Structure 1
Amino acid sequence: MTRSSDIIRTLPFWMIFSVSALGGISNSASTPTIPVFVAADLGGGPELSGLLIALSAVTSIVAMPLGGHLADRFGYRVVAMSGIALSAAALTLLAAVPHLWAAVSSRLLFGLGNAAAMALTLTWLVALSPNTQRGRALSIYGLSVWLGLAAGPQLAAGISAVAEPRAVFAACVGIEIAVLILFSLLPQPAHPSPSTATSPIPTVAPRGAGAVWEVLRVVWVPGVAAAAAWCGEGLMLAFLIVHLGSAGVPATGLLGAASVFGVFAASVVVARLVLARLPDRIGPLRAAAISLVLLCGGLVILGIAGSFAVAAVGAALMGVGFSPLYPSLTMLAARGLRSRNRALGLGLFASFTSLGYASGALVGGIVLAAMSSTWAFLLVGMLQLVALAVLTVFTPDPSPRPRVSPGEGGEPSP
């Protein structure tokens, strides 16, 4: 692999990066606008807002593997473009029809379309990346998610300052159309023949009704680790401010609890840039193991934190831990899959992160009500070590770099 063929320097990589960033902007601009829209146009309160927001999150868990399965059968482009068209139609409905039935329908359709399309961007990148560059490519690609999450609320706030909430949804329709155009221009990943699709671990192919089970057999181990890790993030986002508030840390201000999230985000971005090559250099299993240990330490420190400074240390450890984790786990999930079922497998893997994220808030609420927020952070911190044990024991191939077959264009060979 020469320097000129560096995946990071190719146009398709930055098109995929832009698709992910724009999709994130659309989601993070429209979602926080829901409570304002509900109050202004539907006459509802926080309960209705929470329900509408949750509808998309729940449907996304189903949409990711479903979109992957369809993409394996009909091609990445047609499914991704269909998903974006569906999410654009959903946002148009939300902007044009200020009624409860339209809002419910819109959020369900948006969750299905946007989640399926965005999950395919990850699969698309894995399919186009040479095996020895996937860790770095996934690390840099991950910054697009943070860019989208940061820019979306700012866009929503700017539009809401001069127009009604529905104007935000209309602007997001324009973003979805831009994503649709980018998807139409992306090169379609090739599907190699079975004779060239070899792997150091047993590969699977769809077999009728058992296709999902066969693919799940490959991705469940990195999926469990991802669920545990994102359980920690979900817990932190849901209860960190309440947890630190009980210890006397103010919610706002430069040294307030909300600023701890800034430390977390900054540490993720910096670590992503510094550690982008780590999974490729030491192998995804070792990189994921280090990440889970750091996450455990960060959650424990947050659990016992009684000041901004201590909480900032815990958040920084979590940020550094998260930076190589997703690329590493994605590599572990992808390398046991044939190209013909890669989208289904990575869609199932992505569902584990959504499930973990939702579980963080649920587990945190239950433990907080029964004991305290400190115990919630400590228990989820220990969960990272359980995930580490599962990952270490059940991962078949711990080698740093699988050899590459010249006939598969990036697929590992025995």
Structure 2
Amino acid sequence: MTVPVRRLWVAVLCGYLAFGAALQVLPAYVPEKFGGGALASGTAVGIAFLATACGRPFAGWLADAGRSRPVVIAGGVLAAVGGLGQLLAPDLVMLLVARLVMGAGEAALFSAALPWVLSGARTSERGKLAGWFGLSMWGGLAVGPVLAGAVSGPIRLVWWMVIGLCVVSVGLVFTTRQDPSQLVSLGRIGGVRELVPVGVPLPGTILGLAAYCYGTVAALLVLRLRADHLGTDGFALSVFAGAFLLLRFAGSPLVDRYGGRVVAVSTVAVEVVALVVIARAGTPVAALVGTAFAGFGMALIYPACVSMTLDRVRGLRPGVSMGVMTSFWDLGVLAAGPLGGLIAERAGFPAAFLVAAGAGVACVVVLLRMPRRAVSPR
């Protein structure tokens, strides 16, 4: 039976459109409904990524054993429940619980769908296919804020849109059939130590440091622009999304042509400059230029790290390998929310973005020092 790649791509896209839309409204929703400043907003944005980071390896682990379909369906259900919880939360604590539930759902949705897709691909095409399929997640994160910004009326309408997108995701996967070729592998789940394949942590560290840069933008950009009255806070994340998607579509072949390391170093260097520009921006034009280049800088880091990871693990156990690697992204975003918010409250928003630029510099250093030889998996 053919793997329903396109249906799965759309299902993951819907789930991450919901996740991205939530990221757009939370920085304003938290202070308006529950009070608090940048620290509370940053924590609300980042805490979902704690559950996502913890859930991805297990989702990939189960998917490699042939359980992709039920895990993906469960992911969509959890994401919908989390969205409803954020709408109905009576206080900040319950909102944070709902964010954790949604984060767990997003982890299961993507990290179980990816190995399902890879199960139908030839080994020589896995890196390319993983990068393309990753557009469903990153495209949702990029376009979700645009959808949220386009919704006029009470903010609860955005939350109903979030819930509806998750329900559509569940419906798309529920109407697929399990691939019989996956059922053959049922029961082949190894020990817990197999949750961290050798060769994954180093590319994961690179992705995590880059994720701190993204997390700072996601959690604090709107608040930074609003605090300095630059008048671009309503559409700045849309500019970031447009730049991100443009380079992601046009530049993905560069990973195959030049290799993951070269592409990652180049794009993260752009991100560092962009974050410095955002930190120092005193005019709307400077802020938008910095935001656009921040989108360019993040566009290719994931496919670059996919390429480096699959090379280092030799394509074995792709589900758990991709899950663990992507968990580093979640941890980076998780750290950026509360830490960036705390820095912003104590030292100002420019300082928070300069710290993020420092994380980008550290990312480049790790890339340059990473051994070129692939590590043989155990």
Q: What TM-score results when the alignment is normalised by the length of structure 1?
A: 0.71
- In the TM superposition, what are the counterparts of 1:98-109 in structure 2 within 5 Å? 108-109=100-101
In the alignment, the residues of structure 1 paired with residue 243 and residue 14 of structure 2 have an alpha-carbon distance, to the nearest angstrom, of 22
Query: How far is the alpha carbon of 1:228 from its aligned partner?
Result: 1.2
2:340·2:352 contact (CA, 8 Å) conserved in 1? yes
1:139·1:272 contact (CA, 8 Å) conserved in 2? no
Q: Cα distance 1:186–1:301, how it changes in 2: closer, same or farther (>3 A)?
A: farther
Q: What TM-score results when the alignment is normalised by the length of structure 2?
A: 0.77
In the alignment, the residues of structure 1 paired with residue 332 and residue 199 of structure 2 have an alpha-carbon distance, to the nearest angstrom, of 18
Corresponding residue for residue 277 of structure 2: 301
Match of 1:208 among 167, 181, 191: 191
Corresponding residue for residue 224 of structure 1: 205
- In the TM superposition, what are the counterparts of 1:243-282 in structure 2 within 5 Å? 243-244=224-225, 248=228, 250-252=229-231, 256-282=232-258
Q: Cα distance 1:336–1:179, how it changes in 2: closer, same or farther (>3 A)?
A: farther
Q: Cα distance 1:192–1:277, how it changes in 2: closer, same or farther (>3 A)?
A: farther
Match of 2:309 among 333, 353, 357: 333
Query: How far is the alpha carbon of 1:326 from its aligned partner?
Result: 0.8
Q: Where does structure 1 lack aligned partners over 5 or more consecutive residues?
A: 1-9, 194-204, 399-411
Query: Counterpart of 1:336 in 2: which secondary structure?
Result: helix
The aligned amino acid for 1:25 is L
Query: How far is the alpha carbon of 1:154 from its aligned partner?
Result: 4.0
Residues 170-205 of structure 1 deviation map (CA, whole Å, 9 limit, x = unaligned)? 6346314323235x3475776999xxxxxxxxxxx9
Corresponding residue for residue 320 of structure 2: 344
- In the TM superposition, what are the counterparts of 1:311-322 in structure 2 within 5 Å? 311-322=287-298
The aligned amino acid for 1:117 is L
Residues 316-348 of structure 1 deviation map (CA, whole Å, 9 limit, x = unaligned)? 222222222111112212333366632222111
Query: Counterpart of 1:218 in 2: which secondary structure?
Result: coil
Query: How far is the alpha carbon of 1:135 from its aligned partner?
Result: 5.4
Q: CA RMSD in A?
A: 4.3
Query: How far is the alpha carbon of 1:374 from its aligned partner?
Result: 2.6
1:292·1:388 contact (CA, 8 Å) conserved in 2? yes
Query: Counterpart of 1:268 in 2: which secondary structure?
Result: helix
The aligned amino acid for 1:384 is G
Q: Cα distance 1:374–1:93, how it changes in 2: closer, same or farther (>3 A)?
A: closer
The aligned amino acid for 1:301 is V
Query: How far is the alpha carbon of 1:212 from its aligned partner?
Result: 3.0
Corresponding residue for residue 77 of structure 1: 69
Residues 235-257 of structure 1 deviation map (CA, whole Å, 9 limit, x = unaligned)? 123223444456x5x343xxx24
Match of 2:335 among 335, 345, 359: 359
Residues 63-96 of structure 1 deviation map (CA, whole Å, 9 limit, x = unaligned)? 111212222334323432343455556668889x
Match of 2:168 among 175, 183, 200: 175
Residues 379-410 of structure 1 deviation map (CA, whole Å, 9 limit, x = unaligned)? 32132222122123224338xxxxxxxxxxxx
1:191·1:339 contact (CA, 8 Å) conserved in 2? no
The aligned amino acid for 1:355 is L
In the alignment, the residues of structure 2 paired with residue 11 and residue 181 of structure 1 have an alpha-carbon distance, to the nearest angstrom, of 14
2:65·2:182 contact (CA, 8 Å) conserved in 1? no
Q: Does 1:60 align with 2:52?
A: yes
Match of 1:310 among 280, 283, 286: 286
Corresponding residue for residue 376 of structure 1: 352
The aligned amino acid for 2:216 is L
Corresponding residue for residue 15 of structure 2: 23
Percent identity of paired positions between Structure 1 and Structure 2: 21
1:287·1:328 contact (CA, 8 Å) conserved in 2? yes
- In the TM superposition, what are the counterparts of 1:79-228 in structure 2 within 5 Å? 79-87=71-79, 108-130=100-122, 133-134=125-126, 136-145=128-137, 147-149=139-141, 150=143, 154=147, 168=161, 171-172=164-165, 174-181=167-174, 184-185=176-177, 187=179, 208-213=191-196, 215=197, 217-228=198-209
Q: Where does structure 2 lack aligned partners over 5 or more consecutive residues?
A: none
Give the number of the structure whose alpha-carbon radius of gyration is greater: 1
Residues 345-366 of structure 1 deviation map (CA, whole Å, 9 limit, x = unaligned)? 2111111111111222233233
Q: Cα distance 1:262–1:238, how it changes in 2: closer, same or farther (>3 A)?
A: same
2:208·2:332 contact (CA, 8 Å) conserved in 1? yes
Query: How far is the alpha carbon of 1:46 from its aligned partner?
Result: 4.6
